[in-house]
């Protein structure tokens, strides 16, 4: 069963990986992804960020994305932690951990989860720049990244 957490607190990748791999000796590969707050976006300095979300729908969306990855590849376990609230440059935003018997499944599923999270999970970023606060615009490249997974040319296993 995947673990989904939406929280204001920071996370520790070492602790999370240790807990996840301690559960199952069949795990032979773990892929991880961490997303961070950058101090520059679209040419402007970013001093602060506020992450808003839709409680209830967010957890449901992340759970569905992760379960879909678990159906699509041979995964043993998966975890997604996404932070909300006020963040600043250098802060961690999101953690994805995927465990499988072999590396291919873990690598692909980790990227799949992030690509769908970026386009489907109801989070919104507001950035503080020298010009004031602004909502981050969704990017077409994120839609394209997600749509790659729908191409029949891509190997699924």
Token pair listed for 31: 């892929």
With CB under 8 A as the contact rule, the residue among 32, 92, 119, 129 that binds another protein is 119
* Residue 94 interacting with another protein (CB under 8 A): yes
Q: What's the length of the chain?
A: 157
What gap in Å lies between CA 93 and CA 25, rounded to an integer?
Answer: 29
With CB under 8 A as the contact rule, the residue among 37, 46, 53, 99 that binds another protein is 53
What gap in Å lies between CA 36 and CA 152, rounded to an integer?
Answer: 32
Closer residue to another protein in complex, CB, 39/120: 120
With CB under 8 A as the contact rule, the residue among 13, 125, 128, 146 that binds another protein is 125
Strand partners, 20: none
Interface with another protein (CB under 8 A): 35, 51-54, 56-57, 60-61, 82, 93-94, 114, 117-126, 135-138
């Amino acid at each position: 069963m995947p673990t989904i957490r939406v929280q204001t607190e920071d996370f520790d990748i070492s602790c999370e990986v240790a807990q996840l791999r301690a559960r199952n000796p069949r795990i032979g590969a773990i892929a991880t992804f961490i997303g961070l707050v950058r101090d520059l976006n679209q040419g402007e300095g970013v001093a602060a960020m506020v992450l808003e979300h839709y409680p209830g729908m967010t957890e449901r969306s992340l759970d569905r994305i992760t379960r879909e990855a678990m159906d699509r590849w041979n995964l043993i376990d998966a975890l997604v932690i996404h932070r909300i609230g006020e963040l600043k440059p250098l802060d961690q935003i999101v953690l994805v951990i995927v465990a499988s018997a072999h590396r291919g499944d873990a690598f692909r599923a980790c990227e799949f989860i992030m690509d769908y999270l970026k386009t489907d999970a109801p989070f919104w970023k507001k950035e503080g720049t020298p010009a004031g606060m602004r909502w981050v615009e969704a990017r077409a490249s994120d839609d394209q990244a997600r749509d790659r997974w729908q191409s029949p040319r891509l190997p699924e296993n």
